[in-house]
Amino acid sequence: MLRELFLGTTRFGGFQKAIPRISPSILSKRLKGLEAAEIIVRKAAPSGQACEYNLTRSGRELGPIVQNMAVWGMRWRKRSIAAQDCDVGGFMWDFHRTLNTSGFPDGETVILVQISDRTDLNRWWVIVNGDAVDLCPTDPGHDVDVYLTATLANLIALWLGDVTVRDATEDKTIFLDGPRHLISTAQDWVAQSPLAGVRPALSVQ
């Protein structure tokens, strides 16, 4: 929850998309708990049609703690991250918002991510237009520019920086199909975790 707040999520619907396994009642309870602890404040959105949740001063001071916990997780628990333990909706939410939009040409670019080892939630449309990136679990009716196909485990490995686009495509663990100018520059735009550079710690007894 705090991680999402630091990543810029402010509305209830945004939290639901980022944490799809959480029920609305539990989500509401946790937001109220953070509000009661004066870590966040709730106020009406400028449109007046929804509420926004924003960090307070004390909430903002939790930033380094949240960051250090994320780094610790990557150093000490990264190897235990398994596709079967990953919520595909939550992962794709992170994947779509970590695309490097500056690597795309002007105008709209549509990427169809196909997760080959899943029978449900296995096709995701990512629509890039300038700095705006939208994620759709159902066909939005746009022409697809790039097809990216992989198992969930291989897609996670790419996002975590364990493998480069070049190595993954050469090893045929990731398949890319589309115009040459997009495929040849995939390393410039492909999504990558902000913590991809954190290396696992050496095991100690």
- Predicted confidence (pLDDT) per residue in 6-61, tens digit: 878 888 888 887 777 788 899 899 999 999 999 999 988 777 678 899 999 999 99
> Is CATH 3.40.50.720 correct for 83-189?
no
First to last CA, the chain: 33
In this predicted structure, what is the pLDDT of residue 80? 55
Out of 48-62, 96-110, 187-201, pick the least confident: 187-201
pLDDT, one tens digit per residue, over 130-156 is: 999 999 999 999 999 999 999 999 999
Distance CA 105, CA 196 (A): 25
Whole-model pTM: value is 0.77
pLDDT digits (tens, 9 = 90+) for 169-188: 999 999 999 999 999 999 99
> In this predicted structure, what is the pLDDT of residue 106?
94
Provide CATH code, domain 2-79: 1.10.10.10
Is the CB of residue 175 less than 8 Å from the CB of residue 151? Answer: no
Domain ranges within the chain, ordered by starting residue: 2-79, 83-189
- 2-79 and 83-189 in the same fold: no
